[in-house]
Amino acid sequence: MTLAQRALERLQAWPDLMAGPASCGTGRALRSVRDEIVHFHSARDVDLHLTRRAIQRFHYDLAGSSAIHLVPGSCWVTVHLDCEADIDLLLSLVSIALKAHQTRPADEEEGLAGCNFHRVAVLPRDTVAGG
């Protein structure tokens, strides 16, 4: 079982999330009553709809993680799953995303550009670290 499959299996047990096809056309999605929250695109790459406010609030922490990839102007972040700790990170961020979507004003436009699929090139961590 891949890391993404393990994460998807764990998240599908959450009562606030429902599974279905990703609106971008690639992979599976988990959505709340209000919005798509997570897209599982491959065995290791997951896009998470955090909201602009949540990304701004946690920008320095997100930017400091080698598992997180930010796309300027996007309200989605890409999480690259390399180990079990990355699954735990993803689950924590999904919890933040659910809270962010619950408190987001209904008239605030989010996610119009879609997820980051095909907008992020993920390099293995050892390549990024120079080793």
pLDDT in tens, 40-72: 999 999 999 998 889 999 999 999 999 999 988
pTM of the model: 0.84
Give the pLDDT score at 103.
83
Query: Has residue 12 got a pLDDT over 90?
Result: yes
The C-alpha atoms of residue 124 and residue 97 are separated, in whole angstroms, by 25
The C-alpha atoms of residue 124 and residue 73 are separated, in whole angstroms, by 24
Rounded to 10 deg, the angle between the 84-103 and 3-12 helix axes is 40
Confidence band (pLDDT; 50, 70, 90) for 117?
confident
What integer is the mean pLDDT of 30-37? 92
Confidence band (pLDDT; 50, 70, 90) for 106?
low
Query: Has residue 25 got a pLDDT over 70?
Result: yes
Q: Is 86:3 a contact under the CB 8 Å cutoff?
A: yes
Q: Report in angstroms the alpha-carbon separations of 2 from 18, 45, 65, 75.
A: 20, 11, 21, 26
Three-class DSSP category at 11: helix
Single out the residue of 51, 12, 6 nearest to residue 29, CA to CA: 12
| Poorest-pLDDT segment among 23-27, 76-80, 83-87 | 23-27
The C-alpha atoms of residue 9 and residue 116 are separated, in whole angstroms, by 22
Q: What are phi and psi of 49, to 5 degrees?
A: -85, 95
Give the pLDDT score at 110.
57
Q: How do residues 90-103 score in pLDDT, each as one tens digit?
A: 999 999 999 998 88
What integer is the mean pLDDT of 7-34? 94
Helices (H) and strands (E) in the chain, counts: 5, 6
